[in-house]
Amino acid sequence: MKQVFNQIMAVLMAFVVLCTTMSFTVNMHYCGDTLVDYSLTNHTKSCGMEVKQDKKIPSACDTMVNAKSCCSDKTLSAKAQDDLKPVFHSLDLKQQFLAVTFLYSYVSIFSLETLDTTSFTAYSPPTLIRDIQTLDQVFII
């Protein structure tokens, strides 16, 4: 039961870290009060109802009527937390020495060592004169 609880808590903590470090943006295009398009990755598509500005030079007798567009774009964004990202580009000499020492000792834990294996193939055991286990009546069960 304790192991299952630990696994559930580990998954929940990983999910919390993932959610706090992830940022996203939602782009929405409204035509009037109606949501026409939304996008999570790119800009939204237009509905084609925007008022286009003419690039004519107005004369003195022309009156300009400024028409307001019924369309609007809205963007909702959630910024991520940047505190969890370590910064390694500004290490002083003591911190660099500590990092190198730690890495060297960590790698040396897993290095393979050659063991001296002494082979006893040329050694013959001594001859058995008496059976000591039978004489002392010591038997391995």
Contact 22, 84 (CB under 8 A): no
Tokens in use for 102?
């730690």
Q: For 7-30, what is the mean pLDDT?
A: 88
Q: Quick one: 30 exposed, middle or buried, by C-beta within 10 A (0-12, 13-18, 19+)?
A: middle
pLDDT surpassing 90 at residue 5 = yes
- The reported pLDDT for the residue numbered 137 is 87
- Best CA proximity match to 73, nearest among 31, 25, 42, 40: 31
* pLDDT for res 32: 81
**For position 41, what pLDDT does the model report?**
78
Is the model's pLDDT at 36 over the cut of 90?
A: no
Q: Closest Cα to residue 49, out of 58, 40, 37, 41?
A: 37
**What confidence tier does 135 reach under pLDDT thresholds 50, 70, 90?**
confident
Q: Tell me, what's the pLDDT at 123? A: 80
Query: Does the global pTM surpass 0.85?
Result: no
- Reply yes or no on whether the pLDDT at 46 is more than 60: yes
CA 132/CA 123 separation, integer angstroms: 22
> 47-88 pLDDT, tens per residue?
766 655 555 555 555 555 555 678 888 888 888 776 665 666
Contact 48, 71 (CB under 8 A): no
Q: What is the pLDDT of residue 12?
A: 96
- Reply yes or no on whether the pLDDT at 95 is more than 80: yes
Mean of the pLDDT values across residues 22-48? 81
Beta strand 24-31 pairing with 71-78: antiparallel
